[in-house]
Structure 1
Amino acid sequence: MIISSRHDASVAAILPKLRDRGVPLLWWDEADYPQNSVLTTGYHDGRWRQTLTYQGEQHDLSKVTVAWYRRPGRPSAPAVQDPSQRTFAEYVAGIALTGAYDLMTGALWMPARPAHVLAVDNKLLHLHHAVRLGLTVTDTVVTNDPGELVPAWHRAGGRLVTKSLEYRTFTVDGEYGHLYTTTVPRRRLSGRHRLRHAPSMLQPNVPKAYELRVTVVGEQVFAARIDSQASRLTAVDWRHYDDPNVGYSAYDLPVPVGERCVRLVAELGLSFGALDFIVTPDGQYVFLELNVNGQWAFVETLTGLPIGDAIADWLTDATARTAHEEPIDVH
């Protein structure tokens, strides 16, 4: 079962691979619930049963052996006219989904059950585990104390960056935007009182030779070099993208670093993770963050790394491991 938006290009790229491997599947989006799907969970005759009816077909969720939770839309009830009542309907739909996923005990999940993904999707937690595993992490402060900004700026020698704790869109003058990693010049220190209203992550602007996107699928590691310093647009945050000028290439990651990446993903209870690193001019590997459901298709397209095949293999192998097992009855 693939749970993601119908516009998810990463899922579209995997479908032919799964079909070539003979894997039967259902691609479903939470945005189709409750408006266009019916989910029924019940306890009867000593067993839990739950079915999902979608596009005229009924699916027994106890038969799901593998679930890939990618990037679904939110539950949607547009037929409910009153905004408050619609919000309530969508909220309780989310609760029902959480319970349904928790009861799919016969399934293996990528990257993990949604509730677990939500619990571990935190940059501070990732940094904490990274330090314990021996990865290099730069000095970090997360705070809403305006008094912390100037000392952090001086500790960084005037080379300070600020980051949001999560990718989240917002509106400015009616237009959508989000926060990239941003430098903090001296003139911005006078506005430090604004920090009081929302916590921010403060770190030194670590010198970069280039950057890495390391994708972990199970125990496989795929590293891609990003020559972010080739463009002023991407020098601070490569997510600005400048593909005509910035090179992407497969990278031979040192084994100890790769092993720590696998352990970090596993210790967080995940089967997938996309990790970002800076490689400094003197060859240090500085861990930045882990994206629990990070994008990978662009890496495969630009470098030829077979990440999609690794995901398809993991899903297929997991299906084979659980296909002959009796689903666990949850009492």
Structure 2
Amino acid sequence: MSPVTDLIVGTKTDYHAIAVMWALKQLGRSPLLWDGLSIDDGHMHLAIDGGRSSLALNGHQVETLHSLWFRRQIPYKEFANVTPEAHKFLKRELYEADRVLCAFLEKISKFTVCGSPSKVALSKVHQLQVARDVGFRVPKTLITNQFDAVRSFVTGTRSIVKHFAPHYFMRRDHSQLRVVGTSEVGELMDIDPRSVEIAPAIYQERVDKSYEVRLTVVGDKLFPAKIFSDDGDAFLDWRSELGKAHCKVAPCKLGPQVEQSALRLMRRLNLEYGCIDLAVSKLDEIYFLEVNPGGQFLFIEDLIPEYPILHAFCSLLAQGRRDFALNDTWRSKLTMRAFERSDDFYEWEQVYARKDDDHFITYIG
């Protein structure tokens, strides 16, 4: 068994992780997907003896990693047949063991994507401050759970409210799905203040948008996609509209100043990869909304096949540097569509495709 060259910390249900695994194997590498500690197939073996350390994950020897990608870190798989008294203790032990493992992985990795710096970069306030510093406009923003402050902020201004993390509420029979997403703030007079004060949220002035740009940044390569409605109106949140006939996605160009601001933002946040969301106003002013260090990117390649994003991302990992080169020989081979014609995709689809990820779902009813 060949030593692991590249490690993806993610989950087997994730299309992105499997696609990148496939592409790395096409490049002759030996990648491994680690999807958390478990009693069945989540065994770690970390030994320290004098000046030497050794690690094995599910029997795969992990020495010096060339690259490490924290795609979607889930510390452990759910466990059964544990007494209620031991449940809390075991959960804490698994979290701590995962923290030790991930710190060790970063230490032995020559190149890490979405590692420790991304935890700081995930701060919405930090993102907005850095974006402003590198030249972006940012919407007026308030993060609070104080009702009077919210009422004062939204009075006389079109405002939206956003939450810190995605979440879905689904009926167990899958008959109904509710999404926690961006909403416009309406009249607050009839709202119970406790519904605001129970948890902080992100309140922003609503930009009078013409359209939005999803800017996928891979190292120093930029892939901007314009997202717009064919009826001329901008979406409140394009994520809930994607895939519908009126939602259009097309390649676009950004000016050199915007491109440089985006690259400076990524360097200031110590990110090798991220998805930047921009809003373009009716006056052609560009506003920074957020950057997601773990954002989805293959749907952009699906809608804009001329964007070689899978090729770029795997080249970033394989070459281990921001200024990686795209090899023309592999450009037509390492594509999302080539992956979906592969045996790897077929096997994954039979077992894991369309599985619900309970990490993001609350079942009701």
TM over 0.5: yes
1:37 aligns with 2:38: no
Q: 1:77, 1:151 → 2: CA distance?
A: 44
Name the one with the larger helix percent. 1
Matched with 1:325 is none
Of 4, 9, 13, the residue aligned with 1:7 is 13
How far apart are the structure 2 equivalents of 1:153 and 1:101?
A: 42
Pairing 1:311–2:313 present: yes
The 3-state SS of whatever aligns with 1:19 is: helix
2:238 matched to 1:238? yes
Partner in structure 1 of residue 162 of structure 2:
163
The residue correspondences of 1:41-120 to structure 2 (distance < 5 A) are: 41-52=46-57, 54=58, 58-104=59-105, 105-113=107-115, 115-120=116-121
Deviation at 1:14, TM superposition (A): 2.5
Secondary structure of the residue aligned to 2:277 is strand
Unmatched runs of 5 consecutive residues or more in structure 2: 1-6, 324-365
Instruction: Return closer, same or farther for 1:264/1:101 CA change in 2, 3 Å cut-off.
Output: same
Deviation string 1:184-233 (CA, Å, 9 cap, x unpaired) is 122x343161211111111111111110100111111110000047487x
Q: What is the CA-CA distance between 1:133 and the residue it aligns to? A: 1.1
Structure 1 distance, partners of 2:111, 2:83, is 36
Residues of 2 paired with 1:86 and 1:109: CA distance? 36
Cα-Cα RMSD: 2.5
Amino acid at match of 2:309: I
Aligned-residue sequence identity (percent) comes to 24
TM-score for the superposition, normalised by structure 2 = 0.78
Q: 1:231 to 1:93 in 2, by over 3 A?
A: farther
1:148 corresponding residue in structure 2: 149
Kindly provide the amino acid, as one letter, of the partner of residue 209 in structure 1.
S
User: How far apart are the structure 2 equivalents of 1:200 and 1:135?
Assistant: 23
User: What is the aligned partner in structure 1 of residue 190 from structure 2?
Assistant: 190
Tell me the residue number matched to 1:328.
none
Give the counterpart letter for 1:179 in structure 2: V
**Other structure's SS at 1:22 match:** coil
**Could you tell me whether the CA contact under 8 Å between 2:139 and 2:206 is conserved in 1?**
no
Aligned to 1:265: 266
Task: Summarize the alignment of residues 201-280 of structure 1 with structure 2, pairs less than 5 Å apart.
Answer: 201-228=202-229, 230=231, 235-243=235-243, 244-280=245-281
Displacement after TM superposition at 1:171 (Å): 7.1
1:237 counterpart letter in structure 2:
D
Q: Cα–Cα, structure 1 residues 84 and 289, in superposed 2: closer, same or farther, change >3 Å? A: farther
Distance 1:270 1:307, change over 3 A: same
Does the C-alpha gap of structure 1 residues 177 and 87 become closer, same or farther in structure 2, counting only changes over 3 Å?
farther
What letter is aligned with 2:46? T
Give, in whole Å, the separation in 2 of the partners of 1:229 and 1:126: 31
Counterpart CA distance in 1 for 2:156 and 2:112 is 40
After superposition, the Cα gap between the structure-2 partners of 1:199 and 1:172, relative to the gap in structure 1 and judged at 3 Å, is farther
Question: Contact 1:230 / 1:246 at 8 angstroms: preserved in 2?
Answer: no
Report the CA distance shift for 1:83/1:75 in structure 2 as closer, same or farther (over 3 A).
Answer: farther
User: Does the residue aligned with 1:64 lie in a helix, a strand or coil?
Assistant: coil
Structure 1-normalised TM-score? 0.85
Partners of 2:142 and 2:202 within 8 A in 1: yes
Residue pair 1:6, 1:29 contacting (<8 A) in 2 also: yes
Q: Is the 8 A contact 2:35 2:42 kept in 1?
A: no
C-alpha change, 1:172 and 1:147, in structure 2 (3 Å) is farther
What's the CA shift string for 1:21-75, capped at 9, x where partnerless?
1111112211x534422212232122222222x2xxx223223221111124440
Distance across 2 between alignment mates of 1:312 and 1:160: 39
